[in-house]
Amino acid sequence: MKVHTDYLWFNTKKRHEFVRITDDIAGIVSASGVGEGTVLVSAMHITAGVFVNDWESGLLHDFDVWLEKLAPAGLNYQHHQTGEDNADAHLKRTIVGHQVVLPITNGALDLGPWEQLFYAEFDGQRRKRVVVKVMGV
């Protein structure tokens, strides 16, 4: 059994950003030498997420509008009494999820035709990490 660990770093220019990382993960899986198994991709910061959806700019815009509606910035959150201003980012990342596990078959990501993996930043403009753990044979 092989276990291979890697990390991706992000420092987005905007506070909110969706960054496609499918190819980065495919590269790490290839480097791992794992032919059959899974890869865990998990945000290590609690105002960021990782999710699978469509690589279509209109839909990504819809996601942004929708998350703002469900978890608005600027409300009178108790978390802000600590000096933070990012409670909404904690909530938004909870909706999209902060990790996925992708299957590996025949040495490659086993994804459906439209599945793309995204890093979802909700409080950016600072350095953050995603951990990548490949396991299998």
Residue numbers at the binding site for its own copies (CB under 8 A): 1, 3, 5, 36-38, 40, 42-46, 51-54, 56-59, 61-63, 66, 70-71, 77-82, 87, 90-91, 94-103, 105, 110-115, 128-129, 131, 133, 135-137
Are the C-beta atoms of residues 125 and 119 closer than 8 Å to each other?
no
SS3 for 76?
A: coil
Q: What is the closest distance, in whole angstroms, from the C-beta atom of residue 104 to its own copies in the complex?
A: 8
Q: What is the closest distance, in whole angstroms, from the C-beta atom of residue 27 to its own copies in the complex?
A: 18
Q: Which is nearer to its own copies, 15 or 90 (CB)?
A: 90
Q: What is the closest distance, in whole angstroms, from the C-beta atom of residue 101 to its own copies in the complex?
A: 5
Q: Which is nearer to its own copies, 13 or 65 (CB)?
A: 65
Q: Which amino acid, 128?
A: K
Are the C-beta atoms of residues 84 and 21 closer than 8 Å to each other?
no
16: which DSSP letter? S
- Both tokens of 119, joined, read 């890093």
Q: Which is nearer to its own copies, 13 or 112 (CB)?
A: 112
Closest Cα partner for 73 from 130, 116, 122, 134? 122
